[in-house]
Amino acid sequence: MKISRRNFLWISGAVITGSLALKLGLTPEEKVVSKDLRIQYAESSTTICPFCGVGCGIICYVEDGKVVGTEGDPDHPINEGALCSKGSALYNMAYVYDEKGVPQINPRRLTQVLYRAPYATDWEVKDWDWALETIAQRIKKTRDTTFEKTDSDGVTVNRSKALAWLGSAMCNNEENYLFHKLAKALGIINIDHCARL
Ligand code: SF4
Higher pLDDT, 30 or 2: 2
Q: How many Å separate Cα 155 from the centre of its chain?
A: 41
Is 23 in a helix, a strand, or coil? helix
Q: What is the reported pLDDT for 195? A: 67
**Residue 88 maps to which CATH number?**
3.30.200.210
Regarding whether 57 and 32 lie in a shared domain, the answer is no
Question: Are 66 and 117 members of one domain?
Answer: no
Longest alpha-carbon distance in the chain: 86
Q: Fill in the amino acid letter for 59.
A: I
Is the domain of 125 the same as that of 158? yes
Task: Assess whether pLDDT exceeds 90 at residue 33.
Answer: no
Confidence of residue 36 (pLDDT cuts 50, 70, 90): confident
Among 109, 136, 154, the domain-final residue is 109
Which of 61, 90, 109 lies at the terminal end of a domain, its last residue? 109
> What is the model's pLDDT at position 38?
81
| Residues with C-beta less than 6 Å from any ligand 1 atom | 49, 51-52, 54-56, 79, 83-84, 86-87
Kindly give the distance from the C-alpha atom of residue 79 to the centroid of ligand 1, in angstroms, as a whole number.
9
Between CA 156 and CA 159 the distance in angstroms is 9
Q: Which of 46, 80, 86 to mutate to test the pocket of ligand 1 (most atoms within 8 A of CB)?
A: 86
pLDDT for the residue 13: 65
Same-domain check for residues 19 and 71: no
pLDDT tens per residue across span 116-171: 999 999 999 999 999 999 999 999 999 999 999 999 999 999 999 999 998 877 77
Task: Give the separation between CA 90 and CA 160, rounded to whole angstroms.
Answer: 37
pLDDT of residue 163: 97
- The total domain count for the chain is 3
Q: How far is the CA of 182 from the centre of ligand 1 (A)?
A: 27
What is the structure's pLDDT at 122? Answer: 97
pLDDT one-digit tens code per residue, 43-77? 999 998 988 878 899 999 999 988 999 999 999 99
Domain end: 51, 79, 109, which one? 109
Cβ–Cβ under 8 Å, residues 102 and 123: no
Global pTM value: 0.61
Domain span at residue 126 reads 113-193
Per DSSP bridges, beta strands 103-105 and 188-193 are: unpaired
| Ligand 1, atom nearest to 48 Cα | 5
What's the pLDDT score for residue 1? 60
